Amino acid sequence: MEIDSPSFLNIAPDGKSLYAVNESNEEGDVVSYELDPTTGQLSRSATLRSGGATACHISTDSANQFAVVSNYFGGSFAFFKLDATGRLESQIAYYPIPVMNAAGESREARGHCGFFDATGTVALTCDAGQDKVHIYRIDRERGTVTPNDPPFLEMPALSAPRHIHIAADNSVAFVNGERDMTINVVRMDVAGNRFEVVQSLSTLRDGESVQPGYSTAECRIHPNGKFVYVSNRGHDTIAAFKYDSQTMSVTRVGHITGDIKVPRNFNITPCGNWMLIASQDGGKVGVYRIDPNTGLATETDNIIKIDRCVCIKFLPQP
């Protein structure tokens, strides 16, 4: 079941479907597979086009009825309907991002990721080129997707929002700035149609500044909701933050270090005890033990050797 350059994967909540995007294809392949959660056997069920170049991210809603794909070059987002088996059925919307803003300035868009909120009625997508998080409304009964009003949330200038993670209670989202090495806290009120950046904090240590070759890659919320993490490439660490739900703010608690080389992707086990860090240039996935009190993690001797590893997903237990 080979696919060229599958830069990002997604697994359906029931563990019976897997989705991949083809980063090297100029037209952007999007592929769905039937997945046997017991054996891990894959069987391709559909291949569609994303409509844009360099498809780099895919995610599905919690009901596994819709998918959103981000196209990096050219900057666009494509939405798909899934059938009852989890197979890609059809593309239902395609939105290229205009390169000319209201001020008449030309800025290239860079679609980097998109996620559905907990209700499945809103999708938030990161545009690293124009420093925006685009917002789309999903009509689940009609199967349509339309831009929100307002259509986007302005992020800090020159931050290059790359990845977003939405809290389980739908009250807040965290967005990492790829260029300025920040974590941004976004207050969400989906019903009231209000989205606001309430905090921006560096992912580097106090006194450190962004250096050539530095960039953040991904942010993740710990399953307990008390900690948030951002991977720092070049700096080669995972920045750890404690989240206060009362004040909707984060405090940096430290950095996870070790034999890490370009941590483009990492993930936390559903139990919350372990962090797996993919060293894209280190040819391995390292296993780290998370301290439940501090949120920091310690490197173990357990490693998995994988060349150019870029995406870690956990298969739900059958």
* pLDDT tens digit sequence for 91-145: 999 999 877 555 666 678 899 999 999 999 999 999 999 999 999 999 999 999 9
pLDDT (average), residues 72-84: 93
pLDDT-derived band at 195 (thresholds 50, 70, 90) equals very high
**Is position 206 within any domain?**
yes
pLDDT above 90: percentage of residues in the chain: 86
Could you read off the pLDDT of 164-194 as tens digits, one per residue?
999 999 999 999 999 999 999 999 999 999 9
**Is position 316 within any domain?**
yes
Domain of residue 269 covers 155-318
**Is position 66 within any domain?**
no
Kind and range of the H or E element at 206?
none
CA distance 72 to 64: 23
Q: How many CB atoms lie within 10 A of CB 75?
A: 27
**Is position 74 within any domain?**
no
Could you read off the pLDDT of 259-283 as tens digits, one per residue?
999 999 999 999 999 999 999 999 9
Q: How many domains does the chain have?
A: 1
Whether the per-residue pLDDT at 84 is higher than 80: the answer is yes
Nearest to 159 by CA among 215, 77, 82, 211: 215
**Is position 6 within any domain?**
no
Angle at 176 between CA 174 and CA 180, to 5 degrees: 145
**Is position 19 within any domain?**
no
Determine the pLDDT at residue 71: 94
* Per-position b or e across 167-197, b if 16+ CB within 10 A of its CB: beeeebbbbbbbbbbbbbbbebebeeeebeb
Determine the pLDDT at residue 54: 87
CA distance 163 to 125: 8
Determine the pLDDT at residue 2: 67
Determine the pLDDT at residue 40: 86
Determine the pLDDT at residue 103: 61
CA distance 179 to 217: 10
Q: How many CB atoms lie within 10 A of CB 207?
A: 5
**Is position 185 within any domain?**
yes
**Is position 207 within any domain?**
yes
> For residue 148, what are its two tokens?
């929100």
Determine the pLDDT at residue 23: 74
Could you read off the pLDDT of 22-72 as tens digits, one per residue?
876 667 789 999 999 888 899 999 999 998 888 999 999 999 999 999 999
CA distance 40 to 287: 21
Nearest to 318 by CA among 9, 40, 79, 45: 40
Three state DSSP letters for 120-172: CCEEEEEECCCCEEEEEEEECCCCEEEEEEEEEEECCCCCCEEEEEECCCCCE
CA atoms within 13 A on the CB side of 128: 26
Could you read off the pLDDT of 220-236 as tens digits, one per residue?
999 999 999 999 999 99
Residue 179, domain CATH: 2.130.10.10
CA distance 318 to 315: 9
pLDDT (average), residues 5-30: 86
Report the greatest alpha carbon distance in the chain.
Answer: 55
Determine the pLDDT at residue 56: 92
Preceding peptide of 223 cis, ω within 30°: no
pTM, entire model: 0.95
Average the pLDDT over each of 80-89, 168-177, 186-195, 303-312 and give the range with the smallest value: 303-312
Task: Phi first, then psi: give them for residue 85, nearest 5 degrees.
Answer: -90, -5
